[in-house]
């Protein structure tokens, strides 16, 4: 989990500081399979955040949604995604 979290931090940092890297590096990052996986995972976390916030009647926040999604859904989501991508 630590490696994944560190990767997310690096990607978020680079995406929030585009002036710090050349556009070709930005394009390379955005077109990489790693970044596409990050984006797909982020989208699932945001969906989870919305669903759980609706259930709670309040915004649960991204950090709580992230932690909850990792614990409850990440491994099955990855398995399903890998199966889908292989077919």
The lowest-confidence range among 17-21, 50-54, 66-70 is: 17-21
Predicted TM-score of the model (pTM): 0.66
What per-residue confidence (pLDDT) applies to 4?
57
- Judge whether 52 and 65 are in contact, CB under 8 Å: yes
Q: 3-class DSSP state for residue 22?
A: coil
- 4-27: per-residue pLDDT in tens? 555 555 555 555 555 555 567 777
């Amino acid at each position: 989990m630590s490696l994944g979290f560190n990767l997310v931090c690096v990607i978020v940092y680079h995406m929030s500081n585009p002036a710090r890297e050349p556009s070709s590096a930005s394009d390379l990052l955005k077109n990489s399979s790693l970044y596409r996986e990050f984006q797909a995972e982020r989208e699932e976390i945001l969906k989870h955040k919305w669903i759980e916030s609706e259930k709670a009647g309040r915004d649960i926040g991204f950090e709580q949604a992230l932690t909850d999604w990792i614990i409850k859904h990440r491994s099955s989501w990855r398995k399903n995604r890998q199966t889908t991508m292989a077919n």
